[in-house]
Amino acid sequence: MLKTLKAYGFLFLIGGGVLLADQTAKAWIEAHIPFARQTTPFAALPWLHITNWHNSGMAFGLGQAWGPVLLALGVVYALGVLLAFPAIARSGWWLRWGMAIQWGGALGNLLDRLRHGYVTDFIAVGRFPVFNLADAAISLSVAFLLLGELFADDEPAPETPPHAPDAETSPAPEETPHA
């Protein structure tokens, strides 16, 4: 029970932090930058632009007509991670962090879809499609998951539950003499 509470605490702390950062940034963008307007906030970084763009599709603007499907998939994904996270948290450091970051990003975009019917994108880097902090978190989480696969053998094995003794360390049952 305590491990489950710790797992959810971790998920809510990390995922909630991603969600809070994403929603705060989007609220600021919506309040201060008119739709479709672009600005270059740092003269030293002429390739970095801040904009206000509405995306009813998914990454790279694909699936613009799939809004309801994307909304339903987002709800299923968010609930699935929520239900599975205690088991995920026992799977290792990389997976735990990756899934918590991804969950926060998914919730950020899901909340936009629920409130507006679209996702607010605002970071434009060179010719790369416009994205937001939730998208960046989801991309970062994929890197965590891939690194987790690379370094999976370096992580300690999950603990054996106390109710399932290990065969190598369990004492042999005492033999009783047959009369």
> Domains of the chain: which residue ranges?
2-42+49-154
Looking at residue 170, the DSSP 8-state letter turns out to be: S
* Residue 170: how many other CB atoms lie within 10 Å: 9
Select which of 112, 135, 153, 154 is catalytic.
135
Known catalytic residue at 121: yes
Query: Annotated catalytic, 135?
Result: yes
Rounded CA-CA distance 78/92 in Å is: 20
Q: Which residue in 112, 121, 153, 166 is the catalytic one?
A: 121
Give yes or no for a contact between 34 and 76, defined as CB atoms under 8 angstroms apart. Answer: no
CA torsion 172-173-176-178 (nearest 10°) is -90
Question: For the whole model, what pTM was predicted?
Answer: 0.80
Q: What pLDDT, in 10s, does the model give residues 11-37?
A: 999 999 999 999 999 999 999 999 999
Per-residue pLDDT of the chain (179 residues; tens, 9 = 90+): 888 899 999 999 999 999 999 999 999 999 999 999 999 999 999 999 999 999 998 877 778 888 889 999 999 999 999 999 999 888 888 999 999 999 999 999 999 999 999 999 999 999 999 999 999 999 999 999 999 888 876 555 555 555 655 555 555 555 555 65
Specify which residues 124 forms β-bridges with: 49
DSSP 131: B
- Rounded CA separation 132/124 (Å): 9
